[in-house]
Amino acid sequence: MEVRDLTKTFGSVTAVDSLSFTVEPGQVTGFLGPNGAGKTTTLRMALGLITPDRGTTTIGGTPYAALPRPATRVGAVLETAFHPGRSGRDHLRVYCRAAGLPARRADDVLAQVGLTPAGRRKAGGYSLGMRQRLGLATALLGDPRVLVLDEPANGLDPEGIQWLRGFLRHLAHDEGRTVLVSSHLLAEVEQTADRVVIVGAGKLVREGSLAELRAESVGTVLVRTPATAQLTTALTGAGAAVESTGPGALTVTGLTTEQVGAAAFAAGVELHELRARTSGLEEVYFRLTSGAEQYAAAGGAAS
């Protein structure tokens, strides 16, 4: 999937500004950015729902709207949309018919997302998690190789988020599908994504593998020792910033756990605990996107 020079203006607001990126096949790509960064508009343009002012999106070389039987190539969950009076199963059967798929696909995908027991109930009575599953089931009807999901974790409870992560991992890593998943939180895709595309205010901020991003992140390490003074000297000598965070506890910035352990061993210091506190990815993401919110809080107040 290739996005080239996509641009869209709503009134005086440029929602998406000359955005270009690539989604690699067989990988999970996290599409990240603060709220209002233009993620949804980009995805809707990529899928032919919004006409861009400029630019193109192709999937395997063809624009979405020109794909023959697009439901069998790309599945998308952009919002959880259904008629509240129609059962989940009937909802799926409608789209089976429209896509020219056999009606039994409705039962297949219900089972796939674990919604079979609720399939004959009206969708209006579904919980948020069930609605999200019904949306996923709709996207999976045509057994597409590419999945596009817009903020799928929004509004899910922790259990739902965990299920979703596992399900996406399964779709991508076990079944080899290409997944593009948008989120405003890095943590949400950190465990699932291979690559990230980060946008801010409609512009591309960063595109690359999560490993690359991790490499430039500066993590912090928590270490507990009875000999804080001695260890501080050793770590400072190794180029780290050391901060005391309680009796016998130090927070080290600039070294990996391995490097801290090696320094302590070399200095002959006894350790009681040694663990990575943050990966630093969140900080990198925040630095990349700060100030790029469409409606940044005055004074740049960070939450």
Partner 1 sequence: MSGVVDLVRAEWTKLLTTKVGYWLVAVGALMAAGFTALFTAFAGEQGGPEGQGIPPVGTEAYGSLVAGVPAQVVVIAVVLGVIGTTQEYRHRTATPTFLVTPRRGRVVVAKLLAYAVVGLVLAVAAVAATVLVATVYGGARGGAPDWTGDTVGTLLRSGLAVVVYTVIGVGAGALVRNQVGAVVGSLVYLFVVEGIIASVPATADAYRWLPGGALAALTGDGRGTDLLGTWEGGLLLLGYGLVAAVLGAVLAVRRDVV
C-beta of 87: minimal distance to partner 1 in Å? 7
Report the alpha-carbon distance of residue 80 to residue 128 in Å, rounded: 9
Which positions from 89 through 128 interact with partner 1, judged by CB under 8 A?
90-91, 93-95, 97-100
Report the alpha-carbon distance of residue 105 to residue 205 in Å, rounded: 40
C-beta of 162: minimal distance to partner 1 in Å? 26
**Those residues with Cβ within 8 angstroms of residue 100's Cβ, 6 or more apart along the chain or in another chain:** 69
How many residues line the site for partner 1 (CB under 8 A)? 32
C-beta of 96: minimal distance to partner 1 in Å? 8
Which range binds partner 1 by CB under 8 A, 79-87, 199-207, 239-247, 294-302? 79-87
Report the alpha-carbon distance of residue 202 to residue 189 in Å, rounded: 20
Considering the rule CB under 8 A, would residue 70 count as an interface residue with partner 1? yes
Which range binds partner 1 by CB under 8 A, 23-31, 47-55, 211-219, 282-290? 47-55
Give me the helices (H) in 170-244, please. Answer: 186-190, 210-215, 228-237
Considering the rule CB under 8 A, would residue 83 count as an interface residue with partner 1? yes
Nearest by Cα to 225 from 212, 216, 215, 235: 235
- Which is closer to partner 1, CB of 94 or CB of 185? 94
Cβ–Cβ under 8 Å, residues 77 and 63: no
C-beta of 7: minimal distance to partner 1 in Å? 14
Exposure class string for 228-239: b at 16+ Cβ within 10 A, else e: beebbebbeebe
- Name the residue with tokens 């929602």: 15
Among 1, 6, 19, 78, binds partner 1 (CB under 8 A): 78
Report the alpha-carbon distance of residue 56 to residue 220 in Å, rounded: 42
Among 86, 121, 165, 206, binds partner 1 (CB under 8 A): 86
Among 112, 138, 178, 228, binds partner 1 (CB under 8 A): 138
Q: Tell me the sheet residues that pair with 57.
A: 3
C-beta of 74: minimal distance to partner 1 in Å? 8
Which range binds partner 1 by CB under 8 A, 31-39, 67-75, 199-207, 230-238? 67-75
Considering the rule CB under 8 A, would residue 79 count as an interface residue with partner 1? yes
The DSSP string of 134-173 is HHHHHHHTT--SEEEEESTTTT--HHHHHHHHHHHHIIII
Among 48, 129, 254, 280, binds partner 1 (CB under 8 A): 48
Considering the rule CB under 8 A, would residue 65 count as an interface residue with partner 1? yes
Which range binds partner 1 by CB under 8 A, 46-54, 178-186, 205-213, 273-281? 46-54
Strands (E), the chain: 2-10, 13-22, 28-32, 54-58, 74-77, 146-150, 178-183, 195-200, 203-209, 220-224, 241-244, 249-253, 273-278
**CA dihedral over 77, 81, 87, 91, signed as positive or negative:** negative
Which positions from 242 through 281 interact with partner 1, judged by CB under 8 A?
none
Give the interface with partner 1 as residue ranges (CB under 8 A).
44, 47-51, 64-67, 70-71, 76, 78-79, 81-87, 90-91, 93-95, 97-100, 138
